[in-house]
């Protein structure tokens, strides 16, 4: 798997670093099982080069150019039961002034890093139920790779992931549960406590469990994350197809998140709660994907996503639009060029209202994205992406932010 920075063309509308609930609990699990049946060792290689330049609201600049990626291997199943995997990650600075730190492409002070991010055991309990233990990548809405810089988040955890066989005309359940003790954040070479990553001064892990049911394009599911005495997060999604015509099948997806303090409330020292309500509609029309989304952040605290990219439908290149009291509306159009295979582009605009916090301002954001990612031939696995975002803050003094990124990937798996 190349990762979230690899090709994403219609009919997808998720931003980099996000994981929809419908992509959780091993969305590619069936493919992994098929590969496992081949009883062959697997290898993967990913090269990545990333340039990011941002002019912030206060006219300060964050800028760096880095190169790196990862290399990994996984054994075949020994005794038809046990497999082992490992992946090493690195990011090295090619250019970047320490005074312009803060891009998250490299470590603090524009320093490079190397880390053994994956080292795990896969135990095949049954043909459709597996146990994993050790350092590993995971993808769920609030605990995922957040693969939007040079290297992804990985976790020290124990988990089980399963899938029910799909019969003719029947739906399918995917499910998972686990305990996540520590996280290696995306630009770090150290594993730290999940509670520490969330901002607490104590060490706690996270217990997570959830499931999703899918039947054709319909899906419904939920997942819960509990870090004792720190935070409890519940997230649910439902996707409904609208078969208006054989050539026009819009999808409507609803999402809901509830976050609240737990137990001794060691994260903030006081009780808090936050909710996220969202709805997204997307309609493919030939090579074009049109989508719109609305979200509302409620409660008495900004929503948090300490172990992932933000799953909000209106979270885009720069802003998450999840500050308490903030309402956001998004419009997006993506196009896949038929004349040049693998070439796609999209543009979006988000309008965010002023949050409840005094002094916070309303923001608008526009994004442009152009990507070429051939899906066959000698360049299969290669992609180059150019991204641009401009954010306008509407307050007593109008302020702008600009964010420019160029990302090159080349990944292989064999």
- At residue 34, φ and ψ (nearest 5 deg) are -65, -40
CA nearest 291: which of 347, 354, 230, 223?
Answer: 347
Q: What share of the chain is helix, strand, coil (3-state, %, to 5)?
A: 5, 55, 40
At residue 34, the pLDDT reads 60
pLDDT in tens, 106-146: 999 999 999 999 999 999 998 889 999 999 999 999 999 99
Report DSSP state, residue 248. Answer: B
Q: CA 286, CA 200: separation in Å to the nearest integer?
A: 48
Locate 377 and state its tokens. Answer: 């031939």
Terminal C-alpha separation, the chain: 10
Q: CA 289, CA 280: separation in Å to the nearest integer?
A: 13
At residue 27, the pLDDT reads 61
C-beta separation of 402 from 382 below 8 A: no
Locate 375 and state its tokens. Answer: 């899906």
Q: CA 354, CA 349: separation in Å to the nearest integer?
A: 16
At residue 25, the pLDDT reads 79
CA nearest 248: which of 294, 220, 289?
Answer: 289
C-beta separation of 63 from 78 below 8 A: no
Burial of 393 (0-12, 13-18, 19+ CB in 10 A): middle
CA 130 to chain centre: 23
Residue whose tokens read 């929809």: 20
Strand (E) or helix (H) holding 260: strand 251-261
C-beta separation of 10 from 287 below 8 A: yes
- At residue 8, φ and ψ (nearest 5 deg) are -140, 95
- pLDDT beneath 70, residues of the chain: 1-12, 26-39, 165-169
Domains for the chain: give ranges and CATH numbers.
21-413 (2.40.160.10)
Residue whose tokens read 């306008």: 392
Neighbours of 144 (CB within 10 A): 24
Query: From the CA atom positions of the chain, what is the Rg in Å?
Result: 21
At residue 337, the pLDDT reads 93
CA distances from 298 to 39, 274, 278 (A): 50, 6, 11
Burial of 246 (0-12, 13-18, 19+ CB in 10 A): exposed
Locate 172 and state its tokens. Answer: 């399918």
Give the chain's count of helices (H) and strands (E). Answer: 2, 19
pTM reported for the whole predicted model: 0.92
At residue 59, the pLDDT reads 95
Strand 218-227 to 206-215 pairing: antiparallel
Strand (E) or helix (H) holding 258: strand 251-261
At residue 9, the pLDDT reads 38
Rama region for 197: left / alpha / beta (φ>0; ψ in -120 to 50; rest): alpha
Beta strand ranges found along 25-143 (DSSP E): 42-55, 61-74, 82-95, 113-126, 129-136
Residues 210, 291, 211: CA angle, nearest 5 degrees: 10
């Amino acid at each position: 798997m190349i990762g979230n920075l690899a090709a994403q063309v219609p009919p997808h509308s998720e931003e980099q670093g996000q994981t929809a609930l419908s992509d959780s609990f091993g969305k590619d699990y069936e493919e992994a099982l098929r590969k496992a049946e081949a009883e062959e060792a697997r290898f993967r290689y990913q090269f990545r080069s990333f340039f990011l330049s941002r002019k912030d609201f206060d006219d300060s600049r964050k800028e760096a150019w880095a190169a790196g990626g990862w290399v990994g291997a996984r054994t075949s199943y020994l005794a038809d039961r046990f497999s082992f995997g490992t992946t090493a990650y690195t990011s090295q600075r090619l250019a970047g002034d320490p005074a312009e730190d803060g891009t998250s492409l490299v470590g603090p002070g524009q320093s490079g890093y190397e880390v053994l991010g994956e080292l795990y055991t896969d135990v095949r309990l049954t043909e459709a139920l597996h146990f994993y233990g050790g350092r590993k990548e995971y993808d769920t809405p609030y605990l995922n790779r957040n693969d939007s810089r040079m290297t992804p988040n990985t976790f020290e955890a124990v988990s089980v992931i399963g899938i029910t066989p799909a019969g003719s005309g029947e739906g399918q359940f995917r499910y998972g549960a686990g305990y996540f003790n520590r996280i290696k954040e995306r630009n770090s070479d150290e594993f730290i406590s999940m509670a520490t990553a969330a901002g607490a001064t104590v060490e706690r892990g996270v217990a997570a469990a959830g499931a999703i049911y899918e039947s054709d394009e319909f899906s419904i599911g939920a997942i819960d994350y509990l870090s004792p005495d720190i935070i409890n997060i519940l997230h649910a999604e439902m996707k409904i197809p609208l078969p208006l015509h054989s050539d026009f099948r819009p999808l409507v997806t609803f999402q809901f998140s509830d976050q609240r303090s737990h137990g001794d409330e060691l994260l903030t020292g006081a009780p808090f709660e936050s909710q996220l309500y969202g709805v997204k509609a997307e309609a493919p029309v030939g090579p074009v994907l049109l989508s719109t989304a609305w979200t509302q952040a409620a409660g008495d605290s900004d929503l948090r996503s300490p172990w992932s990219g933000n799953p909000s439908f209106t979270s885009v290149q720069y802003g998450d639009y999840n500050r308490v009291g903030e309402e956001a509306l998004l419009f997006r159009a993506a196009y896949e060029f038929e004349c040049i295979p693998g070439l796609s582009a999209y543009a979006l605009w988000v309008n965010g209202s002023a949050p409840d916090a005094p002094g916070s301002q309303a923001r608008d954001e526009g994004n442009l994205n152009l990507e070429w990612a051939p899906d066959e031939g000698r360049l299969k696995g290669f992609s180059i992406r150019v991204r641009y975002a401009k954010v306008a803050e509407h307050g007593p003094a109008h302020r702008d932010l600009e964010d420019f990124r160029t990302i090159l990937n080349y990944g292989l798996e064999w």
